[in-house]
A and B are shown apart, each in its own frame.
Chain A
Amino acid sequence: MDEPVILIEDLHRVYTMGETEVRALDGVSLSIGRGEFVAVMGPSGSGKSTFMNIVGCLDRPTSGRYVLEGVDVSSLDRDARALIRNDKIGFVFQNFNLLPRTSALENVELPLLYSRKHRLSDAGQLERARAALGHVGLAERWDHTPAQLSGGQQQRVAIARALVNEPTILLADEPTGNLDSRTSDEVMEIFQKLNDEGRTVILITHEPDIAEYARRVISFRDGRLVGDVPVGQRRVAGRLAAPAPVAPGPGPRAPEVHP
């Protein structure tokens, strides 16, 4: 299994807006192997989200090659990309993007409803969704709607949703951007656990200490890859000591029970 999960060669993404051209990605080449945990950093507007959208098959490159698990996906049409997203990609967003007034379980079940890989019975779908919720430690909250969950819990539901279809890669665009540092640590703990189980994780962040949870950090500037370094001292989540500064938030919460 030496073949990289993601192989990118000379990737360009140019937005044309009237006269002006924005080179959001300007010649990026990169390879990411199975089981890696990569943090993507860089100043605002450097092209991180653009990169992520292309890796997640939401967008297509203007030029360049993107090979996902040995398949060139750079020129697939909308429907084919939707299939790939359902099958191989799990998205986690900064603002969670859960369906409102919908239980955690049904939110997690959603990707299965569009799946062609897993043609499960209704009961099978629910069981799978329940298992994914259990994986992020929220089995008991299955019937809570997003409004009844804290930010950290909502993000964990979103991670369960990203997981439920057993994707090849997990993509997270600033998943801790809306969370305080204690909750961020809880969320990063889950990402680390998933990575330890062998999943490939790519995560955008602005915060250097979040990047330290990863094993490798790549940096963008002006649409170019300007840094690619392994993390020397990997930070391990779940060991956040009490003195860590806690941003003003909903106050201390009882620790979640992890099965």
Chain B
Amino acid sequence: MTKTSSILKVAFRAMGRNKLRSLLTALGIIIGVACVVATIGIGEGARIQTESQLRSLGTNFLMVFPGTVTSSGARSGWGSNSKLSEEDVVAIRNEVPTAAYVSASIRTVAQVVYGNQNWSTSIQGGEVDWPLIRSWNVAQGQFFTDADNRAAAKVCVLGQTVATTLFGSDDPVGQTIRIKNIPFKVVGVLEAKGGSMMGQDQDDTVIAPYETVRKKIMGTTAVGMIMVAVSSEDLVQRTQDDITALLRQRHRINRAAGQEDDFMIRSQTEMLQHADEQANTMKVLLWSIAGVSLLVGGIGIMNIMLVSVTERTREIGVRMAIGARGGDIRAQFLVEAVVLAVFGGLVGIALGIGIQSLVAKYAHWPTSVPPTAVALAFLFSALVGVTFGFYPALKASRLDPIEALRYE
């Protein structure tokens, strides 16, 4: 066999002789790998973020939703005749001793106005234990009281984003804002939660007493959701079972007769699992896209290599005339394909990391590129080079030297 260093020399010189062609050959791989790295980085970042957000809620956290879950897992009956009532909330609070904190919860989106500032945000109604359940404290002023809730007082607590949007650096506590044109007195500002959940800014919210939001803003009787903090982590399952039994009894659901629950309890663990499942679906999707773009990149390489073999017929003839064997020619073209693919892979990785850090910076989207993804992208591009470089290389090596020399 001809010396490896000679084959490399030959291949690198041939690539250097036509840099534009080399770049074009690698372009498909560059774009493919950049796509892979960027999308996976962004997807992975979102997954990690969601998970850590969910974890930060604590593992002893339960949410009770109205609605049924069909056997396929889809939710139905949402908000129709299956409702959670305020009596359900009271019942849980009084009859489930392991439920340390319970809060009815309701949520809507509305315009908030202060002076000439105008902002559309999420309005959450909660009860007095809300900060304890969410482990989210008030930074300025204070949270509203139980009396405020019972009286449906028009008071509210602002998330950091809303506070700075409406008030800039001024102190909002004691000021009056309008939510859906109703004046609300600001009694406190929540501490910044930072980060975002599924790309949403958690601080972009206003918390008001549950009764106020239900009656004055939404005009409904239904409880949106019940939040429960369990006294300790190992009691989560028992609490879930107790609430289930209680609500079945209260809603007169006979499981034995085949009736479905008209509520659904999600524990933190289940939510984490759910988020993981979603992330996995996302991952499969991203990797499929990645695979297709690498395939397209590979076909690009093959395409240009084939053209290049035809274009370089004379060169191949000369090489054969001076003693290159078929194997030498094949090795040269294969090395060219692999080097271009790997080069494309490296540039693609750099580009992908660049794109995702831009996204991280300007879209405030958390990103994270797992090293395995980088390694895989690199490996795949080399593999693509070998796979799609092989046929053109074989074709080149089988040329007849006399005909190749005569080729115009």
List residues of A whose CB falls within 8 A of some B CB: 53, 56, 58-59, 78-79, 82-83, 85-87, 91, 93, 97-102, 106, 110-111, 113-116, 119, 122, 161, 165
Residues of B within 8 A of A93 (CB): 405
Nearest A residue to B408 via CB reads A95
Known: A97-B314, A99-B315. A58 touches B401 (CB 8 A): yes
Report Cα–Cα, A115/B328, bound state, in Å: 11
In the complex, how many angstroms separate the beta carbon of B303 from the nearest chain A beta carbon?
22
Once the chains bind, are A83 and B405 in contact (CB under 8 Å)? Answer: no
Nearest B residue to A101 via CB reads B17
Residues of B within 8 A of A87 (CB): 323
Residues of B within 8 A of A113 (CB): 2-3, 6, 9-10
Once the chains bind, are A83 and B325 in contact (CB under 8 Å)? Answer: yes
Report Cα–Cα, A82/B401, bound state, in Å: 10
Contact among B314, B328, B402, B405 for A114, CB-based, below 8 A:
B328
Contact among B2, B317, B405 for A116, CB-based, below 8 A:
B2
Known: A97-B405, A101-B17. A114 touches B326 (CB 8 A): no
Q: Does B177 contact A (CB under 8 A)?
A: no
In the complex, how many angstroms separate the beta carbon of B339 from the nearest chain A beta carbon?
17
Nearest A residue to B327 via CB reads A79
Report Cα–Cα, A17/B324, bound state, in Å: 28
Within 8 A of A (CB), among B43-77: none
Q: Does B304 contact A (CB under 8 A)?
A: no
Once the chains bind, are A83 and B326 in contact (CB under 8 Å)? Answer: no
Q: 1/0 contact trace for B205-241 toward A, CB 8 Å?
A: 0000000000000000000000000000000000000
Residues of B within 8 A of A114 (CB): 2, 6, 319, 322-325, 328
Once the chains bind, are A82 and B324 in contact (CB under 8 Å)? Answer: yes
Known: A53-B402, A100-B17. A85 touches B321 (CB 8 A): yes
Given contacts A97-B321, A113-B10, A161-B322, 10 further A-B contacts (CB under 8 A): A56-B321, A58-B405, A59-B402, A79-B325, A83-B323, A98-B318, A101-B18, A111-B323, A116-B2, A119-B3
Contact among B320, B323, B327, B405 for A115, CB-based, below 8 A:
B323
Known: A93-B405, A97-B314, A102-B17. A111 touches B326 (CB 8 A): no
Residues of A within 8 A of B401 (CB): 58
Residue of A82, A87, A110, A122 with highest tally of chain B CB at under 10 A:
A82
Residues of B within 8 A of A85 (CB): 320-323
Once the chains bind, are A78 and B13 in contact (CB under 8 Å)? Answer: no
Q: Does B117 contact A (CB under 8 A)?
A: no
Q: Does B5 contact A (CB under 8 A)?
A: yes
Once the chains bind, are A79 and B321 in contact (CB under 8 Å)? Answer: no
Residues of B within 8 A of A86 (CB): 322-324
Report Cα–Cα, A86/B323, bound state, in Å: 4
Report Cα–Cα, A86/B3, bound state, in Å: 14
Within 8 A of A (CB), among B384-408: 401-402, 405
